[in-house]
């Protein structure tokens, strides 16, 4: 029974793999509208690499025993992890990954926590740096002060500084792109908090230079109005928090560990998104409205712009040599979803899965050397 199920599942995966290969071929010719996959899934986007789905399924089936289950069919998580494996296999077979970018909360550390010294992801990132892979953290957290990023990422930054001192890594490239795509800091062992602020004019994409400050502030004004409307309509115990490139709602200061429910947060995201989409500045300035777990923020730009800016700043790295790892690809305003426009992606559910993903990446990379 398990053997038959394994064969049928693998055949399905091979069929989808071939559909993707056809789409990539049409994409290369500029005729992707003709692809079979496009007809079946009109919203399908760009593929930066093939996906080795049949082989990836066999890899995950060996670990998760998907075919051996009698009553529980392949689940959403089975498919998600199979897609991750297919992406890793393709990337390692086409050469080394030049840039690996991460979300922060829920990807590298638990929501609202920090990247502490004992976090198991740190030695894995150091191993990548020692092999010449560049590391970027593309996060919604938008700070203009290096010290605040150090507070969130001190375990990693201290470890990189120590690895340089011990000559375990040489000239590592670690950058932080905060506020989705608004504030760039680069690791510098001689800088305060080990981070050096990089002026926006140094790394901005050409398209970003066309964004007028008046339009940016007008968009944030509209967003603030939409957020206030949501506070009133749902009687949220929330207050507005505005920055130079973002605006959001947070629990009222002094209200203890107040927690908004998911439905309130997602309603706020969707209402704000719709109002901005229909507004004049919303048609001129890219933005991202997202559910941050216990807040809602609207940022100027999004993670596609953030990843593209990292790629450019680090010398023009291509999307098929970049992997973005994040947890927000499904919920309303999922801010990692937009990274798919800039590079390959891996969808994880928690920091432990990020560690497992990096171990799997190492496994596939080592296999290619044999």
Q: Which residues contact 149 (CB under 8 A, 6 or more apart)?
A: 141, 143, 176, 178, 185, 193, 195
Strand residue runs (E) in 217-329: 238-242, 246-251, 287-291, 296-300, 322-326
Active-site residue, selected from the candidate residues 78, 103, 299, 336: 103
Residue 215 bears catalytic tag: no
**CA atoms of 195 and 147, how far apart (whole Å):** 8
Distance between CA atoms of residues 99 and 323, nearest Å: 7
Burial class (CB in 10 A: 0-12, 13-18, 19+), 22: middle
CA–CA separation, 279 vs 282, rounded Å?
A: 5
Please check whether residue 250 is in contact with residue 295, taking contact to mean a CB–CB distance below 8 angstroms.
yes
Q: Is 336 a catalytic residue?
A: no
* Range 195-215 burial, b when 16+ CB lie within 10 A, else e: bbbbeeeebbeeebeebeeeb
Rounded Cα distance between 190 and 109, Å, is 26
Token pair 């560049």 is found at 134
Q: How far apart are CA 248 and CA 224, in angstroms?
A: 7
Alpha-carbon distances of 17 from 40, 103, 196, 206, 316, rounded to whole Å: 14, 28, 43, 35, 29
**8 Å CB contact between 269 and 289:** yes
CA dist., res. 175 & res. 184, Å (int): 7
Identify the sign of the CA torsion 67, 71, 75, 78. negative
**Phi and psi angles of residue 8, each rounded to the nearest 5 degrees, phi first:** -65, -45
* Neighbour-count burial of 230, counting CB atoms closer than 10 A to its CB (0-12 exposed, 13-18 middle, 19+ buried): buried
List the catalytic residue out of 105, 299, 302, 336.
Answer: 105
Q: Tokens 């291509």 belong to which residue?
A: 318
Q: How far apart are CA 58 and CA 63, in angstroms?
A: 9
Q: List active site positions.
A: 103, 105
């Amino acid at each position: 029974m398990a053997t038959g199920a394994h064969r049928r599942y693998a055949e399905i995966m091979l069929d989808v793999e071939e559909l993707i290969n056809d789409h990539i071929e049409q994409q290369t010719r500029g005729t992707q509208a003709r692809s079979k996959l496009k007809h079946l899934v009109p919203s399908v986007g760009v593929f930066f690499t093939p996906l080795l789905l049949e082989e990836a399924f066999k890899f995950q089936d060996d670990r998760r025993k998907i075919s051996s289950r009698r009553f529980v069919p392949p689940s959403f998580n089975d498919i998600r992890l199979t897609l991750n494996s297919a992406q890793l296999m393709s990337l390692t077979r086409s050469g080394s990954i030049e840039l690996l970018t991460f979300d922060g909360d829920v990807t590298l550390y638990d929501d609202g926590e920090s990247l502490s010294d004992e976090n198991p992801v740190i030695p894995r990132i150091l191993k990548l740096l020692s092999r010449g892979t560049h590391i970027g953290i593309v996060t919604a957290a938008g700070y203009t002060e290096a010290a605040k990023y150090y507070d969130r990422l001190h375990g990693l930054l201290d470890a990189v500084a120590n690895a340089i001192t011990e000559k375990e890594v040489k000239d590592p490239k670690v950058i932080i792109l905060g506020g989705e795509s608004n504030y760039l800091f680069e690791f510098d062992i001689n800088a305060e908090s080990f981070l050096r602020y990089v002026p926006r004019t140094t790394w901005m994409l050409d398209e970003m230079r066309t964004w007028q400050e008046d339009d940016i502030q007008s968009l944030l004004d509209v967003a603030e109005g939409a957020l206030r409307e949501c506070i009133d309509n749902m009687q949220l115990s929330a207050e507005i928090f505005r920055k130079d490139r973002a605006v959001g709602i947070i629990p009222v200061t002094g209200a203890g560990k107040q927690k908004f429910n998911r439905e309130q947060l997602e309603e706020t995201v969707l209402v704000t998104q719709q109002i901005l989409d229909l507004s004049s500045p919303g048609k001129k300035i890219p933005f991202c409205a997202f559910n941050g777990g216990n807040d809602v923020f609207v940022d100027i730009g999004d993670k596609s712009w953030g990843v593209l800016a990292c790629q450019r700043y680090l010398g023009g790295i291509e999307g098929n040599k970049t992997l973005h790892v994040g947890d927000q690809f499904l919920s309303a305003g999922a801010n990692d979803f937009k990274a798919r426009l800039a590079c390959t992606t891996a969808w994880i559910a928690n920091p432990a899965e990020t560690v497992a993903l990096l171990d799997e990446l190492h496994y596939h990379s080592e296999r290619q050397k044999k």
